[in-house]
Chains A and B, each alone.
Chain A
Amino acid sequence: MKNKTNVLPREGEAQPSRCPDNTAFKQQRLPAWKPQLTIASVLSSFFLTGAFCLTVGVCLVLSANSVREIQIDYSDKCSDCSKLRENSSNWNKECHCSVNFTLKENILGDVFMYYGLQNFYQNHRRYVISRSDAQLLGRNVNIQRSYCAPFSTYRNGTPMAPCGAIANSIFNDTINLFYNHNSSVIQVPLLKTGNSWWTDKNVKFRNPESYNLSSAFAGTARPPYWQKPVYLLDEEDERNNGYLNDDFIIWMRVSAFATFRNLYRRVRRVRHFTEGLPAGNYTFHISYNFPVTRFKGRKHVILSTVVWSGGSNPFLGIAYLVSGTAATLTGFVITGIHLKLRKKKTYFQRR
């Protein structure tokens, strides 16, 4: 078409007909389903949706209600410590505080212990990227070129291990739970491993290869805010040390919102606690290290159980209930319109 004059007819060669093929596709006659959105045709879908949403909603709300959760804000209760931490020069001074609370009823089942932070913007763009996954994989990489800056190397060129702002600002409070059982204080056994994702622990995070951890991290230095190097994070358990430390791994999974919780420990279900946490008085012993007053943040510690539908957040159930109701109501309204129109006979098809 374009080169009209260039198209040369070939002598003696019969040109095939230019008649277009009479195929359904080319003639745009493919068999088709033509859905029609009219009240009559969609009426059932409203009621069906409504019924379905209401059912699911009820289930969700019920299951969310079965979650037992206790949340304790200890940022004020440890005001001394928080004052101490306001001055960053006191970073190496230890500070401890205790928080008492009472469980009115048993928390049955698996009990999870979280620490919660408020107003901590882990999702800040420059914070989120300030890490080196390659380094955390145990690879010997030049972190100078990574996104870790300025938390990549010290002035003298020693690289930080682990590098980046996320690792640097790790939550370093230590929380222990004690059960005051008949005037005797029993430490609640807590599991510190197995809290992170399996894939993180086994694939995503690797310690550098070496005969022992300290030599593996030789030539590197701890991040500036840290009190001890990375290979001393858990001196008891070799498999929970270095980059493989569960607390570290969990911290490195940056949270989506400024207010968040991270899984800290799980109650080990032994002895008194085979059923969960029995009702009674408890005490949190907290080694207060993490400063929050600088950014007007708060710290919590949370004890909670989980169900199939997640935590205690009832929102999803409510959403289902509300939309189910809305769909049903709309269904009724349009049924009304439908009937009214039919009566009036101004309906198009009947006119």
Chain B
Amino acid sequence: MSRKIAPGCFSTMAWKKHFFKETCCQCGAPDMETQNEELEKRGKVRKRKKKNENKRVIISNLPFGSKKWKENPNRHYDTNEIETTKYNILTFLPKNIYEQFHRFANIYFVFIALLNFVPVVQAFQPEVSVIPICVIMAITAIKDAWEDFRRYKLDKEINHMGCYIYSREEHAYVEKCWKDVRVGDFVQLQCNEIVPADILLLYSSDQNGICHLETANLDGETNLKQRRVVTGFSSQDTVFEPEFFQNTIICEMPNNDLNKFKGYMEQPDHEQVGLNIENLLLRGCTIRNTEAAAGIVIYAGHETKAMLNNSGPRYKRSRIEQRMNRDIFLCVGLLFVMCLVGAVGHGIWTGKFWEHPPYDVPDWNGNFVAPVLAGFYMFLTMIILLQILIPISLYVSIELVKLGQVFLIHNDIDLYDEEADLPIQCRALTITEDLGQIQYIFSDKTGTLTENKMVFRRCTVDGLEFSHQENDRRLKTQKALDLDREDFTKLQHFTLPPMNLGRAATIKPSTMRPLRRCQSDRARTQGHTRSRSVGRRDSSQSQVAFSSPIEKDVTPDSRLLRQVREAALQTESFSPFIHMKTSTSFTDFFLALAICNSVLVSTATAPRQRVTIPPPIKPSGITLEKIHQIFQRLKLASLSQSFSSSQSSSQLGASFSAKNTEEPLAVLESCDNENDSSASSGGQELQDKGSTEIGTASLDEVFRSATNTSLPTDFCYEAESPDEAALVYAAQAYGFILVSRTPEQVTVQLPQGTLLTFDILYTLGFDSVRRRMSVVVRHPLTKEIVVYTKGADSVIMDLLDNSTKGNISSDKRLKRIKERTQKHLDYYAHDGLRTLCIAKKVLNEDDFQKWANFRREAEAAIENRDELLIETAQHLETKLTLLGATGIEDRLQDGVPDTIVSLREAGIKVWVLTGDKQETAVNIAYSCKLLNQRDTVFTINTENKETCESLLNLTLEEVKKNYEYDKPQRKLFGIIPTSFSATEAPSPEFGLVIDGRTLDVIFQGGLEEKFLALARRCRSVLCCRSTPLQKSMVVKLVRRQLKAMTLSIGDGANDVSMIQAANVGIGISGQEGMQAVMASDFAISRFKHLKKLLLVHGHWCYARLAKMVIYFFYKNVCYVNLLFWYQFFCGFSGSTMIDYWQMIFFNLFFTSVPPLLFGALDRDVSAETLLRLPELYKNGQNSEIYNLTTFIITMLDAFYQSLICFFVPYLMYKDSDIDVFSFGNPINTISLLTILLHQALEMKTWTVLQLVVMICSVAFYLIFSIIYNAVCLLCSPPTNPYWIMERQLKDPIFYLLCLITPIIALLPRFVIFALRGTLGASLVLKAQQIEKLPKEQQDLEIQKLRSRKEATSGAPVASPASNDDLDQSSSHLCVSPFLPSAAALPPRDTENQGVSASNPLGRRTHDEGYYFFNRWAEEESAATDSSAGPSSGHQPLVASRETAPGQDGGKLTKDYLKNFHYGSHRRSVSSVTL
């Protein structure tokens, strides 16, 4: 296994020689640098090293294989052995102690322990006084060691995994451990092996030099990525021979960018070949679909990208901890005061003797110190004595409690996602309680609120809209089916519908199983990262043959289908220049959908095997399953009334089989050689046949052919984004089936079965700058070079060819198409659909060659390659011809509206920051109840600073007006004034919609404060079209300026910065990879989990921890004060009446476990009630449990209790013959009881655990004391508590004292608790009381509480009835404005619609007393009226643009009014910029 050591005969002399040679070479090679270096002093060697560090040179290890490692030029690079441990056995102690001293408290305690060694100030026996800090540090060290050991074991396991490295001696690949892999080694990998290091791919068994890679381990993306062999190595047919590898690889230094790699390979003849990430196999990935691959190791071990990306859990300081630190400083102040009292007291006490009494013991030399000096020494002594006023065990306790909390959160079954088999991941261990204090939530939209499961809904081609009503219906039935199935499977797993049972036997296992295997295979290997859609498909298809996945099947629009058929026929009939233009655009449209993507094709029968040859269609391909599918389609079609289902299934089957016998031939032929005449004749044949069929085109036929062509639907499409897959599936539905894709070619099956293979000349991938992607292909028939572009509508629309070509009619036509498409796009957006535009461009050969050269240069560039690539891409994507646009629906995740409503009730403001366009975002916002139909929504879109400012001002004014009006009303009802404090105060019925450009203006123009002032008064804010940077800036702004607790939730890489900017970052482990999860503190799998996470766990964690922290302060102050009071009776001499061991153990053992358990397990309110009464969350939001007031109150209580605990025994034993420790013992016992009983009062939940721990604590104290007092004769000289406990246990006074003192100490607290519990203002207490009631009464009470809350908060929420009423009245908004016949409504209509939506609002709010809304609405409608007319109503706005900055108020108001759009968010409106 281990690396072969160089032969022994290799003498030291020899390697020395080599060594010198080596150094010589090093000196000789970089002349300039050495010269420079000579000038520099030796001390700057480091600097030089750094200079070299921007490049890494790698050559093959093989020439050095027989020599020792030290001579190898690659020796400077890390080996592949990884060591993620922080410590080893030797360094553990020093390193860990060093790390622990980073914590200030530890330094403090060590300092005090050391101070105790100074004889003049020592308060305790110095040896003993180091114990507490040692114990604390030991516990922390043990925790660290355990964590480190786990890492060590994992490392070892990984380091000893096997892989094949080329050995020069054996001329073959030999198996070695991962850790023996070195940079420069050649490694061979087999299918399904994990890549051991970052390897430059030099050979792949794939004929095209491609290696497929699954990066799930790295980023969670399950789709296969293609990696290709370095240019120049791909062509060779023979197996790659490492020994002939002479090249030098120069590449960048290791970095953590998973998507970037730059470098070049210098061949012996100095020819350079560029390298990029496409050539690199990353450590941790898995090889798939490739038999074998080989390459040279570039980065190993810790220098691999995977490892560099692997940062441990983040350390964040929670808000409670921050507050705690503040209070610790308060405690330090208190300590200082107490010490000062002691010091002054002692000074005075000492000074009042004119002769030294016998009890004033001189120091070692028999000298007495002066009173002032004695006072000073006493100050230090008192610090030592009272040190535990600073809770020493607080930090470690908090850490332990948080571990417990994280454990419980992690184990919550409600936060477990069954589909993904994924519980919640808590990546940050330190901020659990922050979850209970969130005030603002910033959410991404796509993938977070929505499923990111794209469903093709509509499309517009050539200015014609196709509404896909059948598809709509299918989706609806699908939903119902889903529901049915869920119920069904819940009930019984094995009762399939009778029809299925009857036919189950006939289903061939071979056809069923592959599909399952394809899925389950992946499920097994990647576990949680499996994408959701796959999971659903898996379960549904194996269970109910009828059901079809939502995304995969698209029921074609019959009208469009017919047109497509016609067009396709014409395309295939070799008459490209004769047919109508529209037909080509239909064909082109779907071709573009099928081609212009990066979808990977695999078939179900051969899992994850890329299809290179189109599989011949076997007769067995028609399975019952498919017939069922067809059935379903027929059924659906009959629903749409465009199809009369009169055909029997047998007929259908017959027609299929008849066709299938012919088709394979044609397919094969056309595949082999497209241009071959035989193929063309085949195609002709087929086409003839097709045309005859179509000639008699009844809809049945169309449908049949549709289903027919979709027979080989075993294709699995693996797309990088779900949009792409949706589009490919849509194309498939229309017969344009993507059959295979290689980097060079893409094969599409046309509706009639012909296979067209396009040569891909270039693929310009999608990026967020361009917001589009393109493919350049050569059309196999026309030989044209065509660019298909797909991208965001705003981008594509600007890139369209606007030049007039002289042909007026066609120009006009184009213009009309553009306008219409734009209109359709607006409707789509209004409907909440995601829009994409499809465009094409035909290049002539010369232009293309020119561009291709340009592109090649860019690709070869090493410096700023990215910029060049983008530039070239932009160069190509111009003057496009619009083909059409698509509307894809991104369905809301289930439970989202409910969650948002709950969060809002909890007083959390939800902001949505999305990159999506405004209309889509606003619609989603409405549908997920983020915005309410009643809400007044302000929309601010501007690019001008002054306008923006005045808009903000005016809006703010109006909002404030309403807010102030609102306020007194609340006070009238203000029964619960405390629980509704400032954070809740802003009136919650405004919504603000703002876009990225306006945000830019705000940030650059210094308008942040105004923006915030406005935004904080709005109940939700929607930022559209915002970049990741803007997202994080908004989060930071709120976090810093409002000092609010923020939470960001997102699922994609674009949310990472936002997640990191917030106090709490939550990642959704969805379909967009794992970057968000990696950056997050908590990772959940569904948005709805947020509800329980925050409302329940957040509340609990906060309440628990806050109570625990405050209890710790109480405990320490209470206990330490006992010692302090004693100073008044011992001449402030620093005496203690409690034995030091018992004192240490008091904090470390006797009273430590109950608060820990309390901190981990207490539940003040049950989960159900917390979920039903979200307002309870405000408890944490307003920091009601732990704030300065509660802290001070607790401190006062602690003082009171310690006074009682001290003075009751004091008065009892005063003037008696009690000795010091006999006096201390009852005090210690009493305070233990008091402190534990205080805890018991705080505890809201008593389970067996708590009871046992409580009793054990007392028992442990007693047992320890008894044993200690019996055994210890000389344990801690000179103090000696021998037999004290035993004696006192025989004394009735001891028991009487222990009984009465806690009663007196806790009576006030008990009374106040009882009074509060009855008069109780706090909602938490009410909730607790509600829980005591029987079930039905609970519901009633909760209802009551909620309704009262609504009344008090003054929200214009009317009764539920009117609520529904309103929803209905406004529901027409949600109804699509499309009608199949009318592709476009007059703009005026929609305008009215928008306004009409706002008017009911105005009216309703008027009823509620909000006059100003009404006025506003009227003005709004007046404004629109005045500008009504055939021309766009927004021209005045555009005209006013020039004068806008210097405008007077009146004009501004008008502008501003026009910029508010109640509920109408049409693109044409909002795109008008001021």
Contacts and interface: CB of A to CB of B under 8 A. Distances in A.
Contacts of A32: 1163, 1245-1247
Interface stretch (A5-13, A95-103, A226-234, A274-282): A5-13
A146 B526 contact: no
A337 to B, nearest CB: 7
Interface in A177-207: 197, 199-200, 203-204
Nearest to A258: B1129
Interface string A106-145: 0000000010100011111111111111100100000000
A123 B1222 CA distance: 12
Given A255-B1217, A295-B353, A341-B1318, A319 B361 contact: no
A211 interface: no
B1067 interface: no
B44 interface: no
A206 B309 CA distance: 71
A60 B1296 contact: yes
Nearest to A33: B1246
Given A8-B161, A15-B524, A323 B1310 contact: no
Given A28-B1163, A28-B1167, A120-B357, A20 B1135 contact: no
A341 B1314 CA distance: 14
A162 to B, nearest CB: 12
A121 B1304 CA distance: 30
Interface string B1322-1345: 000010110111000000010010
Contacts of A56: 1296, 1300
Interface stretch (A76-84, A238-246, A304-312): A304-312
B218 A5 contact: yes
B1215 A260 contact: yes
Interface stretch (B261-269, B874-882, B987-995, B1271-1279): B1271-1279
Interface stretch (B408-416, B613-621, B707-715, B839-847): B408-416
B1211 A315 contact: yes
B364 A123 contact: no
B1208 interface: yes
Contacts, number: 333
B1135 A261 contact: no
Kindly name the residue among A11, A257, A320 whose own CB sees the greatest number of chain B CB atoms within 10 A.
A257
A151 B1279 CA distance: 17
B1293 A310 contact: yes
A51 interface: no
Contacts of B310: 3-6
Interface stretch (B421-429, B585-593, B650-658): B421-429
Contact of A133 (B408, B1213, B1278): B1278
Contacts of A41: 1314, 1317
Contact of B1292 (A129, A309, A347): A309
Interface string B1218-1256: 111011100000000000000001001111110000000
A150 B365 contact: yes
Contacts of B1344: 351
Contact of A34 (B425, B1278, B1331): B1331
A255 B309 contact: no
B1273 A313 contact: no
A125 B1133 contact: yes
Contact of B423 (A20, A49, A121, A316): A20
B580 interface: no
A142 to B, nearest CB: 13
A19 B414 CA distance: 10
Given A42-B1310, A127-B361, A199-B1282, A18 B411 contact: no
A123 B1133 CA distance: 8
Interface in A283-309: 294-295, 297, 308-309
B1203 to A, nearest CB: 13
A162 B1026 CA distance: 86
B1130 interface: yes
B1197 interface: no
Contacts of B769: none
A168 B82 CA distance: 69
B423 A18 contact: yes
Interface stretch (A213-221, A265-273, A326-334): A326-334
Contacts of A105: none
A313 B1215 contact: yes
A136 B952 CA distance: 86
Contacts of B702: none
A310 to B, nearest CB: 5
B1317 A20 contact: no
A89 interface: no
A32 B1157 CA distance: 14
B1329 A38 contact: yes
Interface in B1279-1315: 1279-1280, 1282-1283, 1286-1287, 1292-1293, 1296-1297, 1300, 1303-1304, 1307, 1310-1311, 1313-1315
Interface residues of B, number: 123
Nearest to A22: B413
B1161 interface: yes
B362 interface: yes
Contact of A121 (B365, B1130, B1249): B1130
Nearest to A52: B1299
A6 B1130 contact: no
B1214 A257 contact: yes
B1304 A319 contact: yes
Nearest to B1137: A256
Contacts of A15: 421, 524, 527
A130 B1278 contact: yes
A120 B359 contact: yes
A8 B1313 CA distance: 54
B194 to A, nearest CB: 6
Contacts of A114: 1217
B909 interface: no
Contacts of A17: 421
A53 interface: yes
A19 B1131 contact: no
A123 B1247 contact: no
Interface stretch (B1-9, B151-159, B223-231, B1358-1366): B151-159
Given A4-B310, A147-B1278, A323 B1300 contact: yes
Contacts of A149: 363-364
Contact of A5 (B217, B1222, B1273): B217
Contacts of B427: 1
Interface string B506-527: 0000000000000000001111
Contacts of A13: 524
Contact of A30 (B1212, B1220, B1249, B1307): B1249
Interface of B: 82, 84, 123, 151, 154-155, 158, 161, 192, 194, 217-218, 283-284, 306-307, 309-310, 312-313, 353, 355-366, 381, 408, 410-413, 416, 418, 421-423, 425-427, 524-528, 1074, 1078, 1100, 1129-1131, 1133-1135, 1137, 1161, 1163, 1167, 1208, 1210-1220, 1222-1224, 1241, 1244-1249, 1273-1274, 1277-1280, 1282-1283, 1286-1287, 1292-1293, 1296-1297, 1300, 1303-1304, 1307, 1310-1311, 1313-1320, 1326, 1328-1329, 1331-1333, 1341, 1344
Which 6 pairs from chain A and chain B are nearest by CB?
A: A295-B357, A169-B358, A256-B1223, A38-B1317, A20-B411, A26-B411
Interface of A: 1-9, 11-15, 17-22, 26-28, 30-42, 49, 53, 56, 60, 114, 116, 120-134, 137, 146-147, 149-151, 164-165, 168-169, 197, 199-200, 203-204, 225, 253-263, 294-295, 297, 308-311, 313, 315-316, 319-320, 323, 326-327, 330, 334, 337-338, 341, 347-349, 351
Given A6-B310, A133-B1280, A255-B1217, 8 more contacts: A3-B154, A4-B1078, A17-B421, A27-B413, A30-B1249, A36-B1317, A37-B1313, A310-B1212
9 contacts: A6-B154, A8-B161, A8-B194, A11-B192, A37-B1313, A125-B123, A169-B359, A255-B1217, A260-B1217
